[in-house]
Amino acid sequence: MLLKFFKRTSPAVIFFIALIFAAVWISAFISPVLPQNYGNEEHMPLYSFLLSILGKGHLPSVILSFLIAVILLFLIINFNTTIFFINERTFLPALLFLLLVVIFPEYQVLNPALPAALLFMIALKRIMAGYHK
């Protein structure tokens, strides 16, 4: 029944995904899971730059990771609709990404994977657009 609901392309599906996304991230805003020590951050220049801008507080890193995840959700849906990666036009890929974020609560605080995933999606979209031309 839920699969039928999420395979549709109605505005109710978008609203329900946004509601699930907000409900999941409330716990990150209230009590964030502390990020791990990723070791030598000089090999991750974008991540170390973002950490230097945000400072030591947890709230700015949770807000930035929330915004990056929202942009990733938009890019995943846009990628599926413009490139025709999956034959059916549904919001199911966004729901799957959302479920992956829920499984790992340490990704709700800024970590090196989120900016990398954002750049990867942008690069993948450009590669596929170039392939279709």
Tokens 């000089």 correspond to what residue? Answer: 42
- Helix runs in 31-57, H state only: 45-54
Spell out the domain ranges in the chain: 43-133
DSSP state of 56: S
In sequence order, which residues have a C-beta less than 8 Å from that of residue 76 and are 6 or more positions away?
93, 94, 97, 121
Q: In tens digits, what is the pLDDT along the chain, a chain of 133 residues?
A: 666 777 777 788 888 888 888 888 888 888 776 666 655 666 778 878 888 888 777 888 888 888 998 899 888 888 877 776 666 677 778 888 888 887 777 778 888 888 889 999 999 988 988 877 7
